[in-house]
Structure 1
Amino acid sequence: MIPLRAGTVTEVAVLGAHCDDIAIGMGATLLTLARARPGLRVRALVLSGAGTERAEEERRALDAFCPGAELDLTILDLPDGRAPAHWDRIKNALAAFRAGARPDLVFAPQRGDAHQDHRVLAELVPTEFRDHLVLGFEILKWEADTPAPTVFHPLTPELAAEKAQLLLKHYPSQAHRDWFDEQAFTGLTRMRGVQCHAAHAEAFVLDKAVIDFGGS
């Protein structure tokens, strides 16, 4: 494995279609960033869930996943499963979100996600964040859409377990789903760890990046 180091990160933008997408896709990475950089600014946008119990779950969960960070969370009220019909509103919300953010890194769903809400968001994010490094996270669910990731963030077994435990603690509304359990979450991170010679990992899809070798 050839490592690439992120350098100074003072602000990140994280985007999800539903409450819990961000935590499922990159919860351990958020924990790592927040702990390594006290005062990190986390700008988060979630498209659906406002005014429901899921919004309260999301606020408590992201507080836990971003310890010591300056968290700015916006949750919209788009109907679940109907994102393609609300393309204009999502585009406008992203433009407004982009205007108030100056992130060093952007995290969003990966473009190959089979869920229509995730996919619409993934396709629109680069139209607003044109000059940013955008990492697409994977969201474990019943669709067989697991990507072939290109970027891996190694995790310790303890961090992988902490992520799974926080998910179960803060999203009780999802406990009835047959895939929402600790074994599923740590199984995925263990598989990604195998693929990068680590105990566990979170994985991301990178569509495009510019590399600077220090030349003129």
Structure 2
Amino acid sequence: MIRLGDGGADRVVAVGAHCDDIAIGAGGTLLTLCTARPGVRVDALVLSGGGGAREQEERAALEAFCPGADLRLTVLKLPDGRVPAHWEEAKRAVEELRGRTEPDLVLAPRTDDAHQDHRGLAELMTTAFRDHLVLRYEIVKWDGDLGRPVAYQPLSPETAERKVRLLQEHYPSQRHRAWFDREAFLGLARIRGIECHARYAEAFAVTKLTLNLGG
């Protein structure tokens, strides 16, 4: 069943095409969830960046974004920008991830993301996690593909600031990018906060969910 408000999430899956995708798209949500539920299991999969400095950044970052969690991270070595050309390997990794966990919540890219790697991973997730609540995060970038989300996780000012600080601290390889700065991350969080009557928030697309209004 795909449910909303069903007693919290004890098992979470988080996937990204690149190191930093999960933290940018759902870092505040992970901070909020892991702080509220110590010991939550987080199975994370990243398709590219393995075996080098980027993987080291990702491991340190997700440890910080998932405080007190049982974090299980896999970082593959698919070439950046080439996920569609490595479909079989990516699909196998997603299926292996599905085989080792039964999550209450899945955090994944949007199926209409402008980046082909994000979009390819998003499409693979629909084949493996068919009966799960999948929140599809957004990533600010040059393409300008931000849409109109339907689900929001409000963030306290402290959590929003902590997210931005951790991004800057743990991903030094990305600091040269024009969009990788405090104003971009905090500005988007402020806009999403306005949309859900909060100071800050992260926003998600949802393809399908089941309500349980009658208890």
- TM value normalised by structure 2: 0.96
Q: Please list the CA deviations of residues 64-98 of structure 1 after superposition, one character each: whole Å capped at 9, or x if unmatched.
A: 00000000000000000001111111111111110
Q: Please list the CA deviations of residues 99-157 of structure 1 after superposition, one character each: whole Å capped at 9, or x if unmatched.
A: 01121000100111000000000111010001100110001111110021000111122
CA distance change for structure 1 residues 162 and 181 in 2, over 3 Å: closer, same or farther?
same
| SS at structure 2 position matched to 1:131 | coil
**Which residues in structure 2 correspond to 1:158-169 (within 5 Å)?**
158-169=158-169
| SS at structure 2 position matched to 1:214 | coil
Provide the residue aligned with 2:46 in structure 1: 46
**Which residues in structure 2 correspond to 1:146-161 (within 5 Å)?**
146-161=146-161
CA distance in 2, matches of 1:181, 1:115: 20
| SS at structure 2 position matched to 1:140 | coil
Is the CA contact (8 Å cut-off) linking 1:114 and 1:143 kept in structure 2? yes
- AA aligned opposite 2:112: G
- AA aligned opposite 1:192: R
Q: Please list the CA deviations of residues 42-70 of structure 1 after superposition, one character each: whole Å capped at 9, or x if unmatched.
A: 00000000011000000000000000000
CA distance in 2, matches of 1:126, 1:209: 13
| SS at structure 1 position matched to 2:91 | helix
Provide the residue aligned with 2:71 in structure 1: 71
- AA aligned opposite 2:162: E
| Identity in percent | 59
In the alignment, structure 2 segments of 5+ residues that lack a partner are none
Provide the residue aligned with 1:190 in structure 2: 190
Shift of 1:214: 3.0
Structure 2 residue 18 is matched with structure 1 residue 18: yes
In the alignment, structure 1 segments of 5+ residues that lack a partner are none
| SS at structure 2 position matched to 1:73 | strand
Provide the residue aligned with 1:111 in structure 2: 111
- AA aligned opposite 1:197: H
**Which residues in structure 2 correspond to 1:52-67 (within 5 Å)?**
52-67=52-67
**After TM superposition, what 4+ stretches of structure 1 lie above 4 angstroms from structure 2?**
none
Provide the residue aligned with 2:124 in structure 1: 124
| SS at structure 1 position matched to 2:101 | coil
CA distance in 2, matches of 1:213, 1:6: 10
Is the CA contact (8 Å cut-off) linking 1:175 and 1:181 kept in structure 2? yes
Is the CA contact (8 Å cut-off) linking 1:112 and 1:147 kept in structure 2? no
CA distance in 2, matches of 1:170, 1:65: 10
Higher relative contact order (CA 8 A, sep 6+): 2
CA distance in 1, matches of 2:23, 2:6: 21
Q: CA RMSD in A?
A: 1.1
Aligned length: 212
